[in-house]
Structure formats: C-alpha cells, structure tokens
Amino acid sequence: MSSAEIVRLRDAVTERDHACGPATAPVTLVEYGNFECIHCKAAFPVIKQVQKLLGDNLRFVFRHFPTVRIHAHAMRAAEAAEAAGAQAKFWEMHDQLFTHQQFLEDQYLSRYAKHINLDVEKFNADLRENVFLKQIQSDYERALFDEHVTGTPTLYINDVRYSGSTNLEDMLVAIKEADTGGQINLPERGKGLRRLLRSFQQRAGK
C-alpha cells in the first residue's frame, strides 16, 4: 500500500455504535481499540483532550478489537464495557478500564462496576453468562475481514483511516483538515496552535 492510498471505513457508524458527541458534529473519530493495549492507553488521554477542546464539533466512536492472543484480559474487559453499556454507562466503564489497565481481572471489574454505580449483581451475572461475548466476537471478525484491522488503536477520521501520530497537535490538525465546512476554529499548525495547547494543558492541570 502506498502512503498516498486512502483507506476508507466500510462499516458505517450506526445507532448500535457507542458514540460520544452529536451525530451532527462535522467530524467523527472512530477508534478500533483494545482495553489492554498499551498504545490505546497512551491515546486515551489525548482523545480525551481532543474531546474537551472540540466539544460538540467532534463525535467519538469506540469499537472493540480485543486481540486475545496477545492480551489475555482484552475480551473480558470488552464484555465489562458492554455490560456497563447495558446499564447506560459504557463510557464510564471505558474510562475506568483504561485508567486502571493493569488490573482487568474479574474482581477488579466488579469494583469498577460498583464505583460507577452499576447494578453490580446484574453486571456480574452478565459477565458470568457471557451475555455479550458473541456480539463482541462478531464485531471483531467484521473489523478484521471488512476493515482489515490488524492492530490497535486503528483510527478513522470522517471515514478515512488516520495513519499519523496520536499526539495532540497532529490529531487536532488532522481533524481540522477533515472539517471541510470550516466549523472547527483552531489556529494553523505552528506557534499559534502550540500556544493554545499549552494554555489548555495548563488549565487542565490546575
């Protein structure tokens, strides 16, 4: 594949996806991720910052791609996220799993469920009965065979695969370039953008 070749998302975002942000946002960022992947964990705070900076101008979609041969707890963590999603708290569990990535065994998953005020008994029953396992496996296979996803994180910006760095500046520049309607108001790459990011990060650190 040449570096200039555009790879497009085949599996369009639908109502069954876990999406944060309005469907009317000018840019949609899709991540195929794995809760045990260290690269996904590194991207996690960056995406959080992008969301805070862009607000309703960004819709973020997370899709499971648990590479179980490499990551023994990835599938179980994905099941935990879906079990939380069944109680309308997918994103709260998503954040817990990445924040505490080194602790993904069942006893910790139950603690996270309690921490985000889930019905823990139902949550544990869903995990015990593998309620969401077939769904996640099906989504994994679709990503593998339709999208040719092989690793995580795999990112798409407005349905085009993003192959750049997951640092904050590069992500914002790519997202702004994808906003063909010009709704996202950010300085151009360079001193102006870096100054904005420094100011934002200083405020976030307080």
- Nearest in space to 166 (alpha carbons), one of 23, 21, 31: 31
Whole-number pLDDT of residue 179: 95
Q: Is the pTM of this model over 0.85?
A: yes
Q: How many CA atoms lie within 13 A of 39 on its CB side?
A: 13
Whole-number pLDDT of residue 204: 59
The stretches of 55-161 forming alpha helices (DSSP H) are: 74-85, 90-99, 106-115, 120-128, 133-146
Which residue ranges make up each domain of the chain?
18-205
- Reported as type and span, the H/E element at residue 45 is helix 38-54
- Nearest in space to 78 (alpha carbons), one of 137, 28, 1: 137
What is the rounded distance in angstroms from the CA atom of residue 16 to the CA atom of residue 85? 11
What is the rounded distance in angstroms from the CA atom of residue 89 to the CA atom of residue 34? 18
Whole-number pLDDT of residue 186: 80
Whole-number pLDDT of residue 201: 64
Classify residue 7 as exposed, middle or buried by CB count within 10 Å of its CB (0-12, 13-18, 19+): middle
Tens-binned pLDDT, residue by residue, of the chain (206 aa) = 445 689 999 999 999 999 999 999 999 999 999 999 999 999 999 999 999 999 999 999 999 999 988 999 999 999 999 999 999 999 999 999 999 999 999 999 999 999 999 999 999 999 999 999 999 999 999 999 999 999 999 999 999 999 999 999 999 999 999 999 999 988 666 666 777 777 766 665 54
Whole-number pLDDT of residue 185: 86
What's the CATH class of domain 18-205?
alpha beta
Whole-number pLDDT of residue 1: 41
Query: Within its chain, how far is the Cα of 127 from the centroid?
Result: 21
**Contact in structure between 51 and 60 (CB atoms under 8 Å):** yes
